[in-house]
Structure 1
Amino acid sequence: MQAFIPSAAALLASLVVASAVAAPKGDAEIRHGRYLIATSGCNDCHTPGYMQKDGKVAETEWLTGDAMGWQGPWGTTYPANLRLLVGSMTEQQWLIRARQPMRPPMPSPSLQAMTDDDLRAIFRYVKSLGPKGDPAPAYVPPGGLVMTPYLDLTPKNLPPVAAHH
């Protein structure tokens, strides 16, 4: 009797099918959350050096917040360490928080436009990264003393406001 020896392609196909069957739904949600983080610009602010390094920052460093402030008429804000923030929340708390208005330059309308499934996927992805880093500096109100580097987003050379009749 001759022994059956499967081809490499057959072995690969059976492994792919087995892993797809064995992979829990949570893995797909985590992958979707990673995709949303990567394509929605979250790392641009919440990962130190991400924009300056053209996105070439190890995923282990993603979403650890930044001490680079963003200053404008609202005061000075800092990108939160999402790994610590989300790590301290329940999924329901995250869904509520993600729907609340936030100070600039956070694009909260974009976050608010996401579906609950998208927000859950982001939550699960960030949780999967685990805690890392320190909290971002605290918000500084307009006119307050800022002790960190910051980018000035104050509008300049605005046209005069037309008088209302």
Structure 2
Amino acid sequence: MLTMTCLTLAQYGCNQPTQEKTPDDPAPKKMSHAELIDKGKYLVSAFCHDCHSPKKFTPAGPVLDSSKLLSGHPSGGPLPPIDKKTLQPGNWMLIGPDLTSFAGPWGISYTANITSDSATGIGAWSVAEFIAAMRTGKHLGQAGGRPILPPMPWQGIGQYTDDDLRAIYTYLQSTLPVSNKVQAPTTPDEVAKMP
């Protein structure tokens, strides 16, 4: 299992400054569905594949598994042994070999299936649920929902404009559905009981 400090994850804490609008700014042009998909694909390609797309290992290193793009941690995918001392606050976090599972003081998180599959991905989500999830860090954007766990950089993504988030959502809804039920996060107490 690879180790890395949280601080070295480039996207984790990055926030883009927002520009303030002035009264003289023209109203933004309403994008067509195709333009939303193109913009969303552009935004997703910047970082979502890093964690949400399983990898294949090659002599040149890990490459995206094109048959599983954005499908999250492979269902039933094995985890290497975990050194529980590493999971104490202030220490390192561990990253699974295909870069879709992460262990730290929060337990173990598994990247979600964000394809258009309506049973195991986000195909049944509304745009409002998607935007709320990115703004609140709660699954489905529900106040009582489970937290979206590290290293998902929802704090930075939540700073995107509604139009940007709508574009990401529109693109994700246009992806090929991949049936892959990602397991629920493993709590710190459950990790402590692991052999």
Q: Classify the TM-score, shorter chain.
A: 0.5 to 0.7
Aligned length: 121
Alignment gaps of 5+ in structure 1? 1-23, 147-165
Q: Within 2, Cα distance between the matches of 1:65 and 1:125? A: 16
Pair 1:54–1:140, CA change in 2 (3 A): closer
Could you list the runs of 4 or more consecutive aligned residues of structure 1 that deviate by over 6 angstroms after TM superposition? none
Cα deviation code 1:43-101 (max 9, x no counterpart): 1110001797555543x532101144211001111000011432111111111111112
Q: Residue 98 of structure 1 aligns to which amino acid in structure 2?
A: M
Pair 1:66–1:33, CA change in 2 (3 A): same
Pair 1:26–1:55, CA change in 2 (3 A): farther
Structure 2 residue aligned with 1:66? 73
Cα RMSD after superposing both structures: 2.3
Q: Residue 153 of structure 2 aligns to which amino acid in structure 1?
A: P
Q: How does 1:1-80 map to 2 (within 5 A)?
A: 25-39=32-46, 41-49=47-55, 55-58=63-66, 61-67=68-74, 68-80=100-112
Pair 1:74–1:51, CA change in 2 (3 A): farther
Q: Residue 26 of structure 1 aligns to which amino acid in structure 2?
A: H
Judging by fraction of residues, say which structure has more helix: 1
Pair 1:116–1:51, CA change in 2 (3 A): farther
- Percentage of matched positions with identical amino acids: 31
Alignment gaps of 5+ in structure 2? 1-30, 75-99, 138-147
Secondary structure of 1:70's counterpart equals strand
Judging by fraction of residues, say which structure has more strand: 2
Larger CA Rg, structure 1 vs 2: 1
Q: Within 2, Cα distance between the matches of 1:56 and 1:134? A: 16
TM-score (structure 2 length as normaliser): 0.56
Pair 1:76–1:109, CA change in 2 (3 A): same
Structure 2 residue aligned with 1:120? 166
